[in-house]
């Protein structure tokens, strides 16, 4: 019988967040695959876990996944842990999970700490709909494209950031998304945990005076549909009604339907458009 891959979430700063079920699983499995074995040995020693470890890094994720899958097929049970938090969330794991599924190997997840969920719940921003952007890409073109895409994102946006990039990222967010509410969640679950609800401009001026320190999750307000509609209407308001009609008529839409669409875009009645075109 093939073994099982257990995804085990580990603390993001507070050892007391290690769940009894995860401690038990880490003791019971045959092998622990860890992002950084030197880092994880401290955690395992703390909980008297003596299971053998092997590394599973981002850079060898495909080749090593093949080796791990070979072991799982032999019946070996493996737990995957990362340096902190939930495996596969901005951490190695995603590829291994996909490959295990393709090979019909059972994967199960033992939930626990995750910086994005901890930050979202503390943010004071809408939690019903959100999108997670992880770290913004380092590649300039890709980064610009994602920021542009986020401009009209209506859901709450969550971004991971390292302290030395924080100021630059805040400026980019201000330049692209304009000023809006943001909650900076720092050192979550640790002694110096701080949660700062402010605006992007407020955060920029705060960090003119203070050096960013520790690990950050940025939780940013989405752009409401109301605001998006207002912006769209003010954009159309600068255009003549004739030009606006032309946009739709050029798409082959008949005059009656085009008047309906123009009225909707401009937030006025169809009669107003009809009268203006007389
Ligand atoms: N797998 C992890 C999880 O479940 O959240 C995320 C790992 S990712 C490589 C590391 C990033 O997560 C950090 O740069 C930071 O943005 C965020 N992070 C991790 N621990 C944190 C903490 N205690 N407080 C704030 N942010 C944290």
Nearest atom (ligand 1) to Cα of 114:
4
- Residue ID of nearest Cα to ligand 1 atom 16: 160
Residue 31 CA to ligand 1 center (angstroms) comes to 25
Residue 104 CA to ligand 1 center (angstroms) comes to 30
User: Is the CB–ligand 1 distance for residue 172 below 6 Å?
Assistant: no
Confidence (pLDDT) at 81? 98
pLDDT per residue as tens digits for the range 24-71: 999 999 999 999 999 999 999 999 999 999 999 988 899 999 999 999
At residue 226 the predicted structure's pLDDT band, cuts being 50, 70 and 90, is confident
> What whole-number distance in Å separates Cα of residue 216 and Cα of residue 163?
7
pLDDT per residue as tens digits for the range 103-122: 999 999 999 999 999 999 99
Look at 13-22, 144-153, 172-181, 232-241 and tell me which has the smallest mean pLDDT.
232-241
78-101: b or e for each residue (b if 16 or more CB lie within 10 Å)?
A: bbbbbebbbbbbbbbbeebbebbe
Lookup result for tokens 């769940």 = 19
User: Is the CB–ligand 1 distance for residue 161 below 6 Å?
Assistant: yes
Residue 6 CA to ligand 1 center (angstroms) comes to 20
pTM of the model: 0.88
Look at 172-176, 219-223, 265-269 and tell me which has the smallest mean pLDDT.
265-269
Domains of the chain and CATH, by start: 5-113 (3.40.1010.10), 116-223 (3.30.950.10), 226-277 (no CATH)
Whether the per-residue pLDDT at 214 is higher than 90: the answer is: yes
Confidence (pLDDT) at 230? 82
């Amino acid at each position: 019988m093939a073994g099982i891959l257990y995804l085990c979430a580990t603390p993001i700063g507070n050892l007391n967040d290690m769940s009894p079920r995860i401690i038990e699983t880490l003791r019971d499995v045959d092998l622990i695959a860890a992002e950084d074995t030197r880092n994880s040995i401290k955690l395992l020693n703390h909980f008297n876990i003596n299971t053998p470890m092997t590394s599973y890094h981002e850079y060898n994720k495909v080749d090593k996944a093949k080796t791990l899958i070979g072991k799982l097929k032999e019946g070996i049970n493996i737990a995957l842990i990362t340096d902190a938090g939930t495996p596969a969330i901005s951490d190695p794991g995603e590829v291994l999970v996909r490959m295990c599924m393709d090979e019909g190997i059972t994967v199960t997840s033992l939930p626990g700490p995750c910086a994005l969920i901890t930050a979202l719940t503390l943010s004071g921003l809408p939690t019903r709909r959100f999108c997670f952007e992880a770290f913004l890409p380092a590649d300039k073109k890709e980064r610009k494209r994602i920021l542009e895409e986020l401009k009209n994102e209506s859901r709450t946006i969550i971004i991971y950031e390292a302290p030395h990039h924080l100021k630059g990222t805040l400026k980019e967010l201000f330049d692209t998304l304009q000023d809006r509410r943001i909650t900076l969640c720092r050192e979550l679950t640790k002694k110096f945990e701080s949660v700062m609800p402010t605006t992007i401009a407020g955060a920029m001026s705060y960090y003119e005076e203070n050096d960013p320190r520790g690990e950050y999750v940025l939780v940013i307000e989405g752009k409401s549909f109301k605001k998006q509609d207002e912006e769209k209407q003010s954009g159309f308001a600068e255009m003549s009604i004739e030009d606006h009609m032309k946009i739709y008529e050029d798409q082959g839409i008949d005059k009656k339907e085009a008047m309906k669409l123009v009225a909707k875009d401009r937030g006025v009645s169809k009669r107003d458009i009809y009268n203006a075109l007389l």
